[in-house]
Chains A and B, each alone.
Chain A
Amino acid sequence: MNWDIASLFSDDTAEDRQFRAEVRDWVRDNAPPELCHQRHRIAPPELKPWHHKLYERGWAAPHWPKQYGGMGATLMQQIILFEEIVRVGAPTPYPHGLNFIGPIIIQAGTEEQKARFLPGILSGDSTWCQGYSEAGAGSDLASLQTRAVLDGDHFVVNGHKMWTTNGHYADWMFALVRTDPEAKPRHAGITMLLIDMKSPGLTVRPIQTLKGDSEFAEEFFDNVRVPKENMLGGLNQGWRIAGMVLGGERFTTGHPRYALVYLRQARQLAKQTGAWDDPGFRHRLTTLEIDLLGFLAYYRHAAKLHSAKAAPVSMAPVIKIAGGTLAQRSADLLMQAAGAQGPMIDDISLSGDAVNVASELFEMRRVSVGSGTTEVNRTIISKRVLELPDA
């Protein structure tokens, strides 16, 4: 059986195969080696030249409509681009501009907003962050309290945002803020603002993660003035606007590649460390490989249905739960394969490559917490798909 992500259960058409070959050659020649297979997180400034190269090639925003500088690409082409970039270990551009706010501006922005913000998002010249979560508002996002009060032609923002990926690098934040504290239901009192991160009164403090880098940050808003024209969509329309993200995003964040890479490394590493001789190790590897096989089939099936606009509500949460669990268990197994070497800070060399087992394990924590926890996704399925009653 061929475990290659591109060919196992492939649905590539003849055109897709041609596109894949084209992307593969180009990525091989153009992906900056200093960014490939890096253990540390590539921060936005380091990533910029690579983003720009993709932009010049026309591949930064495959899913955007052509009129806004995208390719109007099919879902399969988006997946192909993703697969071929990660094949060489290169990073993909951050999604906050290209995948989250970009498509929302395209759908809900004014002409001025489109002209002002889209070019920078596309080229990567402006870095964006997502200001949704707060200390008190995580899974229960609608309880957010960062307050925005209209004062003439400005909103005055006070409050605190947290867990903002790239908050300390960002030029802009798209934020959900409370504009009506009395609203019932609570999400009817929320507005989306585009906030200049250099605004006076805005303080950003990076937060160090388990991995040791500063992926996210927190922001304190002290009477930050945001021009009214930076409101996206209508007043108190923020919740609806935020829901306009494109479903295609699941196909990159939820791609089976982590599990695929970890299980392959676990196999190799186990042979190196001797864990391979342990039947318990091999049985667990087998169980996870079978799960991976199943998840790959699910993923391809989902892409096919999503392309045919026939994907069920359950699709995104299933990808999240099945894929996330599998990725974490695969990282756990990699740790088992490494034995006592596993928790060491130094890289382990693995047939010419270096792998940092603990660092991968830390990285995988995100998949069950960020952008909707596993439990929240279970609740979505139990209510909307299984139609189980409320307590």
Chain B
Amino acid sequence: MSRDGQPMIALSGVNKWFGTFHVLKDIDLEIHAGQRVVVCGPSGSGKSTLIRCINRLEEHDEGQIVVDGITLDEDMRNVAAIRREVGMVFQQFNLFPHLSVLDNCVLAQRRARGTPKAEARERAMHYLERVRIPEQAAKYPAQLSGGQQQRVAIARSLCMEPKVMLFDEPTSALDPEMIKEVLDVMIDLAQSGMTMICVTHEMGFARKVADKMVFMDHGRIVETAPPDRFFAAPASERTQLFLSQILSH
């Protein structure tokens, strides 16, 4: 938990360019401990870039990003400190193919936190049970289905006991029958009180767990609203259009 009243994540006036392309425009966003935020918007609107700025996989050019009281800047110690607090799950899972499932979960605990081996393994097994695949611990990623791989990726992040979890379209690369098993794990996590930012187009999931919906278009946050208002009565025309497109499927 962060200090009382202070947001867990605060972005103010964030701008970013890729060359001459203005990808993030004047982003202001506050997320408090325990909040679940779902970010949606058309392809190329800057959703991935936004959450990748929060753990500095991308550098923002202007504005301020503060995570758990630490300001992201050039100082690599601050970046490292924030990365230890923030877990990330990628669309393509990005498991380490040369390591077993268990070692995928153990590696960073040992290296970044210096956790003793036995403890690291124990925690890894704990989180593998939590994502319901302890029996796959000895296998290699290539031997697992996509849904299983994504659940391992979630367990791997949770092993670092982060305060915030970032999800970048975690179910977009999955076959329909595997989406549910991943979403179930995410719902579980949301109910345990984890602070989460999810980029996803799974609107059923959003309705169920989100405290706050964020709609992005052309690098701007166009609308922020609680889910019931967001779905029932979106204020912006662009949001209405977007929702009508994705909900019609």
A and B bind: no
Residues on B lying within 8 angstroms of A by beta carbon are none
Residues on A lying within 8 angstroms of B by beta carbon are none
